[in-house]
Chains A and B, each alone.
Chain A
Amino acid sequence: MPAVGRNVLRKEGTGKVTGAARYVDDLSFPGMLHGTTVRSTVASGRIRAIRLEFDPSGFVVADARDVPGRNVVALIEDDQPCLADGRVRHVAEPILLLAHERRESLLDARVAIDYEEEPPVFDPAASPRVFKEISIVKGDLARGFEAADQIVEGEYVTGLQEQLYIEPNGVIAVPENGGMTVYGSLQCPYYVHKALVVLLGLPPEKVRVVQTETGGGFGGKEEYPSILAGHAAILARKAGRPVKMVYDRVEDMLATTKRHPSVVRHKTGVRRDGRIVAMDVDVLLDGGAYVTLSPVVLSRGVLHATGPYRCDAVRIHGRVTMTNTPPNGAFRGFGAPQTQFAAEVHMERIAEALGMDPVRLRETNLFRPGDTTATGQTLGEDCSAGAVLRAAVERTDFDRRRRELAGSSSGIGLSLFFHGSGFTGGGEVRLASRASLELTATGARILVGSTEIGQGTRTIHAQIVADALEIPYDSVEVCEADTGLVPDSGPTVASRTCMVVGKILENCALEMKRRLGSLSPARYLALHGPLVVTREYEKPAELAWSDETYRGDAYGAYGWGCNVAEVVRDPDTYEVRPVRLTAVCEIGKAIHPVLAAGQVEGGTAQGIGYALLEEVVVRDGRMANAQMTNYLVPTTLDTPPIDVILLENPYFYGPHGAKGIGEMPIDGPAPAIVNAIRHLGLDVREIPATPERILGAPCISR
């Protein structure tokens, strides 16, 4: 019986429910020290003096001078020091590292730092430094606006969002064999590997990175573990002993990356019949103090900025700038939730301006197969914008419900969205990801750098391999994500683990099957010896992309989604609570339906938090609510029933037709909820839509 499409037993399930799964803080090594980080308390300035106000005996103390290689966190630009060298550019910037045998001793180790403060930049619009600027142009914008009967303009604002994985960031660095091994809670072992090679000045084979069981990531363990691993490695090298560094919640929230805040402006020309004829979009993201992943976040943001709508005259301009705040980085959705929030609330405002039904407006403009995107990509038959909209409207009886609720303290709203799977443009080609499959006596063993962070990576990969080899699912094993054992399959990000890495594995399995011929695995091994098949990413021939002009096929495939949110407003507290959320997602193929639905349910819940609850309060460049007591994520009581409908419209180059799924669900809830609030008659254009913002929102004149 085929494994794909069935809810087979998860490979990574049992240890998690018995307590046997070993997360990084559950591990200990002989002679291990505990490490901590002394961080900047000012947003910008020069370090004048550092004084240790404790007896340093028994402590290992390290600073920038202890970096044996280059003092940078190697990623896109090498602008971020691993340890501050003379100056700081944000609050919580790491300056000094301490290690001690007793974790408690670290709490009493006081360090005083004198700064010569410099005026910080907190307003991204006024920043003197632009990290990245991108322009996308399609057609003749001026002529588009000339053809319009009406022009609708608006500005939409989103705040920071914390990933809030329940397991904080943590690593253990172990000096061994003249090199360094790092165990950690992380998404991308090879990102950490690359950063450590540069920082430690070691040859690649002397650095080994092993992922431990990881208690959630959502992007928050994409690039951040590189700096933390660097810190632990610097201490471990100096001490000659293993060093564990596990953040507590406050430090994790103060210091680690968050979702980029955004300001998006739309100016749209529209005909009386609802047809959009011109779109001018300006996107501004706050990058924080260092570049980290900001250029790629901006890229995905602008590439989704039109929403899933066709228009012949489009201009999108985006920039991400520096501010003296902790660097922002990867978070599920990666720029697209910000820009699609703006696009979908703006669509609602266009419908209001035209006096048109919001579903009809979307039906009039949504992408259909054969349409071209803002970058000129022609969409294929797997474009499902219309299908997801129709399914959501039918499932919720949207039109009737909207009439019923009009004028009451309840509202209903929807959002239509899409999400590109895999790296943007030429990104997958540059990654050149590899995956391997090793023949075992009873089946095969998967060797990939992709990590299991809750989404079920090992399970879906094993399902794909089992079916390609035509062997039972239970005969497929999965090797741990250890750079000493597995090839670089690219990072576990960008909704690429199933669609891209899964496809490479399928190709490995088909090649292995060809080599086996009619032999059983045991017979083959006896006759020919060990067999490992390695394959690399193969770009579909018709995909073309130019980084210079930002024209071409931005993504191999897109997932399509529609959310319908029903909310109720408390007349006394102005709190808006979601009552029900319907999430329709077209994902190509659900390899494991329970896991696929789990991605949608979880991403939707995070999107509900983004819409209503999750507010990072920043004062003088420092997060003022860096604890779970007052940074609120949805609990059981804040999360309404989530009704998930999965549709399948296969992508030719995906394994069994699968597209990406992990990120898309977080694109839709915020605009659907804000549009439901608009249905209540309140003009909200900024999230989170807290009671304070709702109280201050003007009424929508009808």
Chain B
Amino acid sequence: MKRLLDVLREECGLTGTKEGCGEGECGACTVLIEGVPVNSCLVPFAHARGARVTTIEGLNGSHPLQETFVSEGGAQCGICTPGMILAATVLPGDAELEEIRTALAGNICRCTGYEGIYRAIRAAARARPRQGDPQPASRAEPGADAER
């Protein structure tokens, strides 16, 4: 059976999800399934039936992390970046460094030494609207969801 990763990339044309190792070690293929970060290389696509799958394309370029990963040096070569950003989206805005490190331990970046990624996450948290403020629709309802 095809992997969710292959279905997303080859049948849905959502190539923002990357393959780094094919064995669930690097996290480059991280997507959100029902809001939970998952390695899509380890998921037979049928297991995602009826589930809401969010890829990097689903953030519509409007998530604060997408801006701060550029400005703070969170992305260098960019191959781990889609998975890293998706894994970081589920962090609470007030996450401490240790919490961030633990949450991202399954996403390997070979370029940054992670410092730029931490800076990006902290900067995005500062930029996030306060709770209760109206949220842009694209953030509340990710667009390019691939439902199988």
User: Which positions in A face B, CB cutoff 8 Å?
Assistant: 7, 9-10, 12-23, 25-26, 163-168, 213-218, 248-249, 453-456, 594-595, 597-598, 601-606, 627-629, 633-637, 639, 641-642, 644
Q: Within 8 Å CB of A248, what residues of B?
A: 22
User: Would you list the 5 A-B pairs with minimal beta carbon distance, nearest first?
Assistant: A19-B16, A16-B78, A215-B79, A454-B77, A605-B113
Chain A residue with minimal CB distance to B57? A19
**Is B17 part of the binding interface, using a Cβ–Cβ cutoff of 8 Å?**
yes
A635 to B104, CA, bound (A): 8
Contact of B73 with A by CB under 8 A: yes
Q: Which of A18, A19, A167, A636 contacts B114 (CB 8 A)?
A: A636
Determine if B111 is an interface residue (Cβ-Cβ < 8 Å).
yes
Q: Which residues of B contact A26 (CB under 8 A)?
A: 9, 15
- Flag if A166 contacts B101 (CB, 8 Å): no
Which chain B residues border A633 with CB–CB below 8 Å? Answer: 108, 110
Task: Convert B104-128 into 0s and 1s, putting 1 for each residue whose CB lies closer than 8 angstroms to a CB of A.
Answer: 1111111111111000000000000
- A637 and B15 in contact, given A627-B21, A628-B21 (Cβ under 8 angstroms): no
Known: A19-B14, A19-B82, A216-B79. A629 touches B23 (CB 8 A): yes
User: Cβ of B40 < 8 Å from any Cβ of A?
Assistant: no
- A634 and B18 alpha carbons, distance in the complex (Å): 20
State whether B77 touches A166 (Cβ < 8 A). Answer: yes
Q: Which of A7, A18, A21, A601 contacts B66 (CB 8 A)?
A: A18
Chain B residues with CB under 8 A of A636: 100-102, 104-105, 107, 114
**Interface contact A18-B56, CB-CB below 8 Å:** yes
Contact between B18 and A637, CB atoms less than 8 A apart: no
A166-B77, A215-B18 are known; give 17 further A-B pairs, CB within 8 A.
Answer: A16-B69, A16-B75, A17-B69, A17-B85, A19-B82, A23-B15, A166-B26, A166-B109, A167-B77, A249-B20, A249-B22, A454-B76, A454-B77, A598-B111, A601-B112, A628-B21, A634-B113
Contact of B76 among A22, A598, A639 (CB under 8 A): A598
Would you call A628 and B26 a contact (CB within 8 A)? yes
Give the chain B neighbours of A216 by CB distance below 8 A.
76-77, 79, 110-111
B145 at the interface (CB under 8 A from A): no
Contact of A595 among B67, B73, B109, B115 (CB under 8 A): B73
Chain B, range 76-93, C-beta contacts under 8 Å to A: 76-82, 85
- A-B CB contact pairs (8 Å), 14 listed: A16-B75, A17-B56, A19-B55, A19-B57, A165-B79, A166-B79, A167-B77, A168-B20, A213-B78, A216-B76, A597-B116, A633-B108, A636-B104, A644-B115
Bound Cα distance from A166 to B114, whole angstroms: 14
Is B71 an interface position by the 8 A CB rule? yes
Q: A215-B18, A594-B72, A595-B73 are in contact. Are A167 and B79 (CB under 8 A)?
A: yes
User: Is the pair A14, B70 in contact by a Cβ cutoff of 8 Å?
Assistant: yes
A9, A164, A167 interface centre (most CB from chain B within 10 Å): A167
A26, B9: Cα distance in complex, Å: 8
B70/A639 in contact, CB under 8 A: no
Q: Are B20 and A167 in contact (CB under 8 A)?
A: yes
A19 to B72: give the CA distance in the assembly, Å: 18
Contact of A164 among B104, B110, B113 (CB under 8 A): B110
User: Does B25 have its Cβ within 8 Å of any Cβ on chain A?
Assistant: yes
B61 within 8 A of partner (CB): yes
Which residues of chain B are within 8 angstroms of A639 by Cβ–Cβ distance?
Answer: 113-114
A637 CB contacts on chain B under 8 angstroms: 101-102, 105
A410 to B13, CA, bound (A): 51
CB proximity of B21 to chain A, nearest CB, Å: 4
Shortest beta-carbon distance, B1 to chain A, in Å?
A: 12
| Cα–Cα, bound, A213→B76 (Å) | 11
- The residue from A17, A454, A628 contacting B111, defined by CB atoms under 8 A apart: A454
- A594 contacts which chain B residues (CB < 8 A)? 71-73, 116
User: B18 near A167 (CB under 8 angstroms)?
Assistant: yes
- Decide if B28 is an interface residue (CB 8 Å cutoff): yes
Question: Using Cβ atoms and an 8 Å threshold, which residues of chain B touch A629?
Answer: 23, 25
Contact B78 A215 (CB under 8 A): yes
A609 to chain B, nearest CB (A): 9
A17 adjacent to B70 (CB under 8 Å): yes
Residues of B within 8 A of A15 (CB): 78
Contacts A594-B73, A598-B111, A636-B105 known; A17 to B79 CB distance under 8 Å?
no
* Closest beta carbon of chain A to B122's beta carbon, Å: 13
Q: Are A605 and B114 in contact (CB under 8 A)?
A: yes
**A16 engages B81 (CB within 8 Å):** yes
By a CB distance below 8 angstroms, the chain B residues around A7 are: 71
The answer to whether residues A166 and B110 also contact, given A13-B75, A19-B82, A594-B72 and a CB cut-off of 8 A, is yes
Min CB distance, B81 to chain A, in Å? 5
Report chain A residues within 8 Å CB of B17: 19
User: CB < 8 Å: which of B23, B71, B102, B113 contacts A627?
Assistant: B23
Q: For the complex, give the distance between the alpha carbons of A163 and B55 in Å.
A: 27
With a cutoff of 8 Å between Cβ atoms, the chain B residues found around residue A604 in the complex are 113
Interface centre among B28, B57, B79 (most CB of A within 10 A): B79
Q: Contact at A22–B15, with CB atoms within 8 Å?
A: yes
Task: Establish whether residues B73 and A166, one from each chain, have CB atoms under 8 Å apart when the complex forms.
Answer: no
CB B51 to nearest CB in A, in angstroms, measures 20
Chain B neighbourhood of A18, CB < 8 A: 16, 56-57, 59, 61, 66
Contact A20 B16 (CB under 8 A): yes
Which residues from A are CB-within-8-Å of B55? 19
Q: Who on chain B is nearest to A644 by CB?
A: B115
